[in-house]
Amino acid sequence: METLRKLERAGASEAQRVSAAEVALEVLTGAGELAPDKSRSKAEAYLRDRLEEHAATAGVFEHNVRLHPEDKRSWEVDFLSRRLRLAVEVDGYFHFQDPERFRRDRRKDLDLQRAGYWVYRLLATDVLSQLEHILHTLDTLIAARKRELAGREP
């Protein structure tokens, strides 16, 4: 996979390359076991680690936290910044194959938006192949939210 070769050329550690290979396997096969921490997938765990290594996102997001927006139902959010009111959701392999799960996620998005959160959804398959784009998008969202909170236009 090109992403794995790119990581090797960039001097990524062996642990990072192994983690990326596990994500690639999970994405390609659609099967995977839960990560050993509170991540629900290896793609989610991989993204968590990359967010902590990236200067603009390090320490910004809590991972897999419960949120009770405006006394609505409780939602677990993959990555949440309460201060910046940003939510990041990683949609896995079976996400779009189950209509009820899709509906539930739309309700979650709406509840979060009503509570003032910006919701950024991404596919687990993109965590490896589009990581730089994901980080750039998050950089942009974080900067816009900070400007908004400071009273300037987004």
According to the per-residue pLDDT averaged within each range, which of 13-22, 107-116, 137-146 is highest?
137-146
Q: Which residue in 136, 116, 133 sits closest to 125, CA to CA?
A: 133
Q: Is the pLDDT of residue 35 over 50?
A: no
Q: In total, how many domains does the chain have? A: 1
Tens of pLDDT, residues 96-127: 788 898 899 999 999 999 999 999 999 999 99
Residue 150 three-state SS? coil
Query: Across residues 38-56, what is the average pLDDT?
Result: 90
pTM, 2 dp? 0.76
- Kindly report the CATH number assigned to the domain that includes residue 135: 3.40.960.10
Q: Is the pLDDT of residue 36 over 80?
A: no
Query: Across residues 136-151, what is the average pLDDT?
Result: 95
Look at residue 154 and tell me if it is in a domain: no
Q: Is the pLDDT of residue 31 over 70?
A: no
138: containing domain: 2-149
pLDDT band at residue 34, thresholds of 50, 70 and 90? very low
Look at residue 26 and tell me if it is in a domain: yes
- Residue 126 CB-density burial (10 A; 0-12 exposed, 13-18 middle, 19+ buried): middle
Q: Is the pLDDT of residue 48 over 80?
A: yes
Look at residue 70 and tell me if it is in a domain: yes
Residues 6+ apart with CB under 8 A from 94: 30, 101
Tens of pLDDT, residues 58-109: 999 999 999 886 666 889 999 999 999 999 999 987 767 888 988 999 999 9
Longest dimension (CA), the chain: 49
Q: Six-digit token pair at 136?
A: 């750039």
Look at residue 102 and tell me if it is in a domain: yes
Look at residue 34 and tell me if it is in a domain: yes
Phi and psi at residue 18, to the nearest 5°:
-65, -45
